[in-house]
Amino acid sequence: MCIQLLYNPKKLVLKIKKSCTEQLQSLTIREGYSIDLITPSKETYVPKEYIEFIKTNYERGNISYKNMKNSLEFIGLAPEQFGYEYPQEEDY
């Protein structure tokens, strides 16, 4: 199966196997349509709530600086962008 439809409570995700991407693009072009909407984007979208969740958990002491840093780096951000500095001592 080339296409899989995944349901997440917050969004619907259409997952296309990498091996089928060229086949799908070729078929779309052959039918006379643009492939702009089926070409994967290199852009990552992260809801603001996720960033706030990370910051709030760090500020409340629920996660360490290292965990906050790793979580932010996962989405292409850094703690310094939000005014955080590496703590002198950390209890974690």
Q: pLDDT for 54-87, tens place per residue?
A: 999 999 999 999 999 999 998 889 999 999 998 8
What pLDDT score does 1 carry?
A: 65
What pLDDT score does 92 carry?
A: 52
**pLDDT tier, 41 (very low <50, low <70, confident <90, very high otherwise):** confident
Residues 34 and 52 reside in one and the same domain = no
Residues 10 and 31 reside in one and the same domain = yes
- Across 28-41, average pLDDT: 86
Residues 1 and 32 reside in one and the same domain = yes
Residues 23 and 52 reside in one and the same domain = no
**Domain with 59 in it:** 48-82
Residues 34 and 1 reside in one and the same domain = yes
The tally of domains found in the chain comes to: 2
Residues 29 and 53 reside in one and the same domain = no
| CB contact burial 46-59 (16+ within 10 A = b; e otherwise) | eeeeebeebbeebe
Closest CA to 75 of 91, 92, 55: 55
Model pTM score: 0.53
